[in-house]
């Protein structure tokens, strides 16, 4: 089986080019495929390979003083979902281009764990009795494969479109508890930070995103699958791929 991993971490990186070269060398030696993104604000990784090789890569990365608490989300497939290994240095590890959404400049927005979100959705309100609105920060292509039941979805094709698309809904959201979510947590982390800095103090972020929710509590309250940006296409709440060529599964 192939171990498929997603991980990101916001932390100051003084020399992104050097770190990118190091990670590329290690991933190449471990025969991993996928994408390595490095910026001055941290790293964003999508890597797949043999489980022992994956474990070795992340063990070495966590030995770096900048990444001891790196959280890795893992699922499995028979096929290798990436055609090759790519490593790039970017201005941001996820592009949003808003100063008020920079995680190194502000304290992290409050997060909410999957079990609590599951309970809130089940009971229909948060612990203070306020309505809960799940805010999808992903684009329309992803949302077609699935999202939380009754989630607020926005007509965006890229993450940078979110502020403009959200503007007409802000007044209606002011008396609710808003939980922003995305695939693995990185977009909803920046989105929640920007929203809180922009006056929406009722916003939380779903810790670990959809994949973290699936991993922790399954698919209760979620309709469909979670789109992923590789050849598996999407994962169901059991983290099984929609496409797994070696078995013909679909």
The catalytically annotated residue of 20, 182, 188, 226 is 182
Q: Which residue has the tokens 């598996």?
A: 232
Q: Tell me the CB-side half-sphere exposure of residue 128, using CA atoms within 13 A.
A: 7
| Strand 33-39 to 42-50 pairing | antiparallel
Which residues, including other chains, have CB under 8 Å from residue 188's CB and lie 6 or more apart? 135, 137, 180, 181, 182, 205, 206, 209
Positive/negative CA dihedral, 238, 239, 240, 241: positive
Which residues, including other chains, have CB under 8 Å from residue 164's CB and lie 6 or more apart? none
- Concerning whether 182 is annotated as a catalytic residue, the answer is yes
Q: Which residue has the tokens 């063990």?
A: 59
Which residues, including other chains, have CB under 8 Å from residue 180's CB and lie 6 or more apart? 135, 137, 188, 191, 192, 195, 203, 204, 205, 206
Residues forming the active site: 182
């Amino acid at each position: 089986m192939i171990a498929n991993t997603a991980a990101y971490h916001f932390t100051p990186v003084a020399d992104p080019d050097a770190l990118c070269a190091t990670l590329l060398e290690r991933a190449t030696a471990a025969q991993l495929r996928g994408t390595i993104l490095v910026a001055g604000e941290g790293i964003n990784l999508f890597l797949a390979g043999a489980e022992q090789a994956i474990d070795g890569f992340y063990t070495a990365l966590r030995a770096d003083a900048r990444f001891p608490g790196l959280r890795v989300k893992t699922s499995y497939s028979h096929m290798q979902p990436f055609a090759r290994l790519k490593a790039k240095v970017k201005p941001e590890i996820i592009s949003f281009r808003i100063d008020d959404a920079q995680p190194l400049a502000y304290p992290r927005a409050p997060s909410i764990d999957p079990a609590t979100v599951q309970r809130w959705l089940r009971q229909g309100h948060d612990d203070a009795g306020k309505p809960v609105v799940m805010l999808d920060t992903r684009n329309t292509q992803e949302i077609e494969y699935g999202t939380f039941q009754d989630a607020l979805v926005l007509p965006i094709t890229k993450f940078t479109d979110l502020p403009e698309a959200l503007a007409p809904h802000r007044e209606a959201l002011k008396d609710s508890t808003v939980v922003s979510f995305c695939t693995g947590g990185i977009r909803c982390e920046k989105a929640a930070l920007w929203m809180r800095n922009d006056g929406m103090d009722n916003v939380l972020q779903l810790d670990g995103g959809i994949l973290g929710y699936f991993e922790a509590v399954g698919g209760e309250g979620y309709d469909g699958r979670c789109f992923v940006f590789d050849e598996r296409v999407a994962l169901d709440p059991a983290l099984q791929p929609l496409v797994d060529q070696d078995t013909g599964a679909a």
